[in-house]
Amino acid sequence: MRVIIAGAGEVGRGVAQALRQERRSVALIDPNPSAINESQALDCLLVTGSALSRDSLLRAGISDAEIIVMATNNDEINLLACAFAKRVYSEQVGDRNASGLIAIARIRNPNLMNLNRGAGPLEKWTRADHIVCPNDEIVDQLAAGLLAPSIDEILPLGDTSWLAVTTVEGNSTLIGMTTGKVEEIFVGIPPIYAKSSAEGDDILTNGSEVIQEGDKLVFVSSSTEPFSQITLATGRKDPEMSDRPQVAIFGATQFGNKLASHYLNVGYEVVVIEPDLDAANELVGSPVGMNKRLDVIHGDPQDEELLKELEIDKHDIAVAALDDDNLNIAISMRTFDKGVKRTGLLLKDRSLVEAIQRIGLTNPISRRLVTITSILKSIHMNLPGTYQVLPPLSSIISISATISDENSMLGRSIADAENKLGVRIVMVDREDENGIHFVLNPNQVESISAGDRLYLLLRKDDLKRVEKTLGS
């Protein structure tokens, strides 16, 4: 399978790198020779040119492509280029509707999707099959991580579910218990699907594994509600939250405003500190700004007197959401030092995330990394493949695949399919007769039906074998 990616920035290179790890054929297009040079190590076909150039698309192998991803830094070009790519593709292969090419457009401005103020729904006129604008996913992932900061890793799975990876402490009540018994004994705790020992051995669980101190356990939950039970059961402790939680958000940016809206919707008290007067006034005049539980303050986020006046130490959560990575890091560290135990920050540079995580004082989210994951998710909506990597368990990955009418898994029970594939099926997304999707736990599924989308964990070394079976 050939995938063409237009845009060799950090997002485009991140998608290309992930696909090359899956042994996909990838072509990367960018008009900037420096960006192309920085991509040399990816072992891709590199094309210096524009996504709106017929010659560039032909050199990238558009006639053999199954998927094209528009990931430049220009939203309008990304949208226009989807239609152009499909036209060039149809000319080359004689497919009038270009049905053999999936086009994915990444956009950064969510207002373009607004039905009243923007140009939405974009898919109807741009010929893009998928629009990736992960703003909501970024906010959701950051907020989920701050619900249970003691959990090592919280990652999205599908649209509504979560992977939670956490380490078993010496005082955990799970020690000596088998993985299959945990769900039976602890009310509200989700199932354990994978485990890594203190020695670093990663395995998919079958229910018989005895839990030991230092084990990393992988839970799959359909909501964020069980996070507190996971924390308690593994012997960890999250900071206390007041009855009326107070949140300080630094930056009335696009993401800062979305975070404010999120926390207001769940009943929290929110203050937004914004150094730019126009941005602060814009938030005040917006629908979000009308909420009585919101205060907007124009001021310097690093002003000690302002932080003292705000009584920042009495806040339950502080999030740095400005457009400057270094400033966000400084603010997040400062608020933690002043007593805010749940701190988070948004970063552009994904390489900074691991460094910040090692410090362990705050919850960082890379906007670009979430964007890469969202694009990969859209790619794998159309073919099996790596959907999610679990950083604490390097040899375990998550993939998803839709079951066709001819698939060998059709009609099998979950247990039978797991044995056949050598995987753990953790979630089933099923569509009813009205076209409404709903998520099922595996124990709710009697047999696998056509159209079911399976989410599963497997060993990285088994990807090609499993992918071949699921694609059959």
Q: State the pLDDT at residue 435.
A: 81
Q: State the pLDDT at residue 190.
A: 94
Question: What CATH fold (topology level) applies to the domain 246-372?
Answer: Rossmann fold (3.40.50)
Decide whether 147-233 matches 246-372 in CATH topology: no
Q: State the pLDDT at residue 139.
A: 93
Average pLDDT over residues 174-200: 91
* Domain 147-233: assigned CATH number: 3.30.70.1450
Whether 120 shows a pLDDT value over 60: the answer reads no
Most confident of 179-193, 292-306, 363-377: 292-306
pLDDT tier, 96 (very low <50, low <70, confident <90, very high otherwise): confident
Q: State the pLDDT at residue 123.
A: 66
Output the 3-class SS for the chain: CEEEEECCCHHHHHHHHHHHHCCCEEEEEECCHHHHHHCHHHCCEEEECCCCCHHHHHHCCHHHEEEEEECCCCHHHHHHHHHHHHHHHHHHHCCCCCCCCEEEEECCCHHHHCCCCCCCCCHHHHCCCEEECCHHHHHHHHHHHHHCCCCCEEEEECCCEEEEEEECCCCCCCCCCEHHHHHHHCCCCCCEEEEECCCCCEEECCCCCECCCCCEEEEEECCCCCHHHHHHHCCCCCCCCCCCCEEEEECCCHHHHHHHHHHHHCCCEEEEEECCHHHHHHHHCCCHHHCCCEEEEECCCCCHHHHHHHCHHHCCEEEECCCCHHHHHHHHHHHHHCCCCEEEEEECCCHHHHHHHHHCCCEEEEHHHHHHHHHHHHHCCCCCEEEEECCCCCCEEEEEEECCCCCCCCCCCHHHHHHHHCCEEEEEEEECCCCCEEEECHHHCCCCCCCCEEEEEEEHHHHHHHHHHHCC
More confident residue, 249 or 96: 249
Q: State the pLDDT at residue 362.
A: 81
More confident residue, 328 or 126: 328
More confident residue, 192 or 472: 192
Most confident of 178-187, 321-330, 461-470: 321-330
pLDDT tier, 151 (very low <50, low <70, confident <90, very high otherwise): very high
Q: Is 374-470 in CATH node 3.30.565.10?
A: no
Q: State the pLDDT at residue 244.
A: 92
pLDDT above 70 coverage of the chain, percent? 96
Each residue of 353-403: pLDDT tens digit?
Answer: 878 877 776 888 999 989 998 998 888 877 666 666 777 888 998 888 889
Q: What does pTM read for this prediction?
A: 0.87
More confident residue, 147 or 97: 147
Please give the structure tokens belonging to residue 229. Answer: 């039970």
Average pLDDT over residues 233-244: 92
Q: State the pLDDT at residue 73.
A: 93
Each residue of 217-228: pLDDT tens digit?
Answer: 999 999 999 999
pLDDT tier, 119 (very low <50, low <70, confident <90, very high otherwise): low
pLDDT tier, 332 (very low <50, low <70, confident <90, very high otherwise): very high
Q: Among 167-171, 198-202, 295-299, 330-334, whose mean pLDDT is lowest?
A: 198-202
Query: pLDDT averaged over the chain?
Result: 91
- When the candidates are 3.40.720.10, 3.90.1150.10, 3.40.50.300, 3.40.50.720, the CATH number that belongs to 2-133 is 3.40.50.720
- Give residue limits of the domains in the chain: 2-133, 147-233, 246-372, 374-470
